A and B are shown apart, each in its own frame.
Chain A
C-alpha cells in the first residue's frame, strides 16, 4: 500500500526554482497496475523516484506498507528499498563487468545472503524468466530483450511488494517490448504492485489505472 500526501519536489536550476511536483496526493493499493503518463518534464519520473525512495521530497509525507518513509534515515531507507521495491530502468542498468547470473545475484550479495541459498534462488529466477542458458553471458553478449529480462529478474529476486518501471520498453524493439510487458503483467497477477512510467499510449492503455501528469501535478486519474 502506497500513500503520498502533499508531496513537493523543487529543483534549483540556475537561479530558477523548478517545481517538479506540486502538492501531489496519490495512493495505490496492493496489486494495482498503474501507468503514469504525461509529456516529458511533467514530473512523472520524479514521482516514480520518490515512490522508490531514490529521491527525497521537499515536503509532504509518504507511507509505504504502513511505514512512514519520510522520517527514515539513509540506512533504514536502503533497507526498505532492498526488501520492498524492485526497479526496472529504461537503460537496464546492468553492471557491464558482471555476468547475467551475477547481476541477478547482486541484491542478494548486498543483503548478505549465504552463497548456497543465493545460487539456488538465482538459478530458479533465471529459469523462470527463460534466460537460464544465458546465465554466464555478460550484458554486452545479450540482446536488449534479454538484458531487460535479466534486469527484471534482478528486480524480483528479493520478492518486493512493488515494481517500479521507468520506460521499461523505451529502449527495445516492439517484439521484445511486448515480451517485457507480458512478463511485468504476469508479475502483477502474482499480487505485486506494478507502477510504470511510459509515454507510449498503447502501453498505457493496457494498465487498469492510468494517471496523467502535467506540469508537476496529477491532471487525470482513471482509478482511485
Chain B
C-alpha cells in the first residue's frame, strides 16, 4: 500500500467519526500546550535572570570576606576568625595589571532627611569606579568624584526613586540632606534603571566609601567589586585577587571570589532543572491524553469490526491493519500537537502582552518537543488498539453486523 494511500485512508477514517476525533484532538492539544507553555515559562524565567545578571556589568568578580569552601581538613582548634576586607585591600587590588576597576562597597541603612521629611534608606559607600562597574548612568549632575579613597567629601548621589521621595518634583541638585548625624550635598541623581536582582538602585543613596565607613563606624568592607580587563582575563584576575589578598592576610586564603560567569552558570543550571521538572509535571497531562487516545481507539476498533474483517477478506495482512490504525492515532496526535502549539503560542502572546517586562516567549525548540511528544504518545498508546484490530478473527468480525 502506498504511503499516500495509508495517510488518505486514515484521514478519511478519522474525519468520518467527528465527535471522537474532536475529543482526541482536544485532549492532545491541552496536553501538548501545557508542556510547551510550562517549559517556555521556565525558559523565559531563566533568560530573564541571566539578562538581569548580565546588565550588572561584564567581566565582574565579587570579593567577599570569609571563605565559603570547605577544604576537608580537620577543623582548626582555636577556630578561624576571618580577617575583614579593608579599604587598603581594595587599594592594593588596583595594582594588578589584569584588573581594570575596583569598587569597594560598604552598605548599611540610615535615616535620610530633608527638612521635616525623613526616610530610612540604604546607604552605599563606594568610589567613582562604581559608575562604570555597575553600568549606572546619571540623570543630573555628576557621580562621586575620583580621588583618594581614604578621604571623601560629604557629598551624595541619590537614585531616581529616592529623589522623588525626598524632593518630589523640586530640584535636588545642590540641596543638602541629612544622613544620620551628618549633612551631605546632593551632587547627582541617577538615571532610572529597573530593579536588578532585587537590588533597587533607584532607592539607594551613594556616598564616598571613607565617609560611609566613619558613618557606620566600621573599618571593614561589605564586598569589593572588581572588573577584569577582559573576558579572558577573568581567571587571571581571580588568581591575582587571591594572591594579593593572601599576601596581605598573612598567607591565609580567607576570602571568597565569585566570578560572574560562575554565578550565571549556577543560575542557568538551577533554572534548567526547574524547567525540566515543571515540563515533566505537565507531561502527566500528555499521559492522560494518551490514555484517552487509547480508549477512543479501542472504541473505534470495536465499532469498526466489520470493516476490519472486510479489510482482511480483501487481502490485508495483520501488519497492514496495524499500520492503518497506528497511522490514524499518529495523525490525530500530530493534528492535536499542531492545535496545542497554536494554543500555547496564543496564550504566550497574551501573557507577553500583560507582562511585557518579562520578555516571555515560546522556547525555540518547543515545536520539536511538541511534535515528538505527541507522536510518541500517539504511537505508544495506539499500539494496543491497533494490535487488537490486527488480531481480530475475520470470520467472527464479519459475522456480526
Given contacts A54-B398, A91-B401, contact A109 B9 (CB under 8 A): yes
Per the bound structure, the CA–CA distance linking A136 and B145 in Å amounts to 90
Min CB distance, B312 to chain A, in Å? 7
Q: Does A209 contact B (CB under 8 A)?
A: no
**Is the CB–CB distance between A54 and B314 below 8 Å?**
no
Find A110's partner among B12, B309, B315, B395 (CB 8 Å cutoff): B315
The answer, yes or no, to whether B135 is at the interface (CB within 8 Å) is no
Q: Given the known inter-chain contacts A97-B16, A109-B5, A110-B320, please indicate yes or no for A81 contacting B398, CB distance below 8 A.
A: no
A6-27 to B contact mask, C-beta < 8 Å, 1/0: 0000000000000000000000
Partner of A75, one of B310, B317, B395: B317
By beta carbon, the residue of chain B nearest A90 is: B401
| In the assembled complex, A121 has its CB within 8 A of some CB on chain B | no
Tell me if B1 and A112 are in contact (CB < 8 A). yes
Classify chain B's interface size. 20 to 34
The residue that B398 contacts in the complex, of A79, A93, A109, A158, with Cβ under 8 A, is A93
Range, interface on chain A = 20 to 34
Least CB separation from A158: chain B residue:
B315
**Contact between A107 and B314 (Cβ–Cβ < 8 Å)?**
yes
Q: Mark B261-296, 1 if CB is under 8 A from A, else 0.
A: 000000000000000000000000000000000000
A182 to B315, CA, bound (A): 26
Chain B residues 355 to 401 lying within 8 A of chain A, measured CB to CB, are 393-395, 398-399, 401
Q: For the complex, is B28 an interface residue (Cβ under 8 Å from A)?
A: no
Among A23-58, those with CB < 8 Å from B are 45-46, 49, 52, 54-55
- Max chain B CB contacts within 10 Å: which of A96, A110, A112? A110
- Which residues 68-109 in A have Cβ within 8 Å of B in the complex? 74-75, 77-79, 81-83, 87, 89, 91, 93, 95-98, 106-107, 109
- Are A97 and B312 also in contact (CB < 8 A) when A110-B1, A110-B320 are? no
Q: Which residues of A contact B394 (CB under 8 A)?
A: 49, 54-55
Q: Are B314 and A106 in contact (CB under 8 A)?
A: yes
Question: Cβ of A111 < 8 Å from any Cβ of B?
Answer: yes
* A111/B313 in contact, CB under 8 A: no
Chain A, interface SS category: helix
Residue of A nearest to B2 (CB): A112
B63 on the interface (CB 8 Å rule)?
Answer: no
Task: Report Cα–Cα, A111/B69, bound state, in Å.
Answer: 72
Q: Which residues of A contact B244 (CB under 8 A)?
A: none
User: Is B215 among interface residues, defined by CB-CB distance under 8 A?
Assistant: no
User: Do residues A78 and B310 form an inter-chain contact, with CB atoms below 8 A?
Assistant: no
**When the two chains form the complex, which single residue of B307, B312, B313, B315 contacts A95, counting CB atoms closer than 8 Å?**
B307
By CB atoms of chain A within 10 A, which of B13, B310, B320 has the most? B310
B306 interface residue, CB < 8 Å from A?
yes
B315 near A79: Cβ-Cβ < 8 Å? yes
A55 to B392, CA, bound (A): 11
B13-A97 in contact (CB<8A) = yes
- Which of A74, A78, A87 has most B Cβ within 10 Å? A78
Contact yes or no, B315 A111, CB < 8 A: yes
B residues in contact with A115, CB < 8 Å: 2
B315, closest chain A residue (CB): A82
Q: Which A residue's beta carbon lies closest to that of B394?
A: A54
Contact with A along B310-325 (1 / 0, CB 8 A): 1111111111100000
Q: Using CB atoms, name the residue of chain A closest to B396.
A: A55
Q: Which of B1, B9, B398 contacts A111 (CB 8 A)?
A: B1
A-B contact pairs, 30 of them (CB 8 A): A49-B394, A49-B395, A54-B309, A54-B312, A54-B313, A55-B393, A74-B317, A75-B317, A75-B318, A75-B319, A77-B317, A78-B318, A78-B320, A79-B315, A81-B313, A81-B314, A82-B314, A82-B316, A91-B306, A91-B401, A93-B313, A93-B398, A98-B12, A106-B311, A106-B314, A109-B5, A109-B9, A111-B1, A112-B5, A154-B314
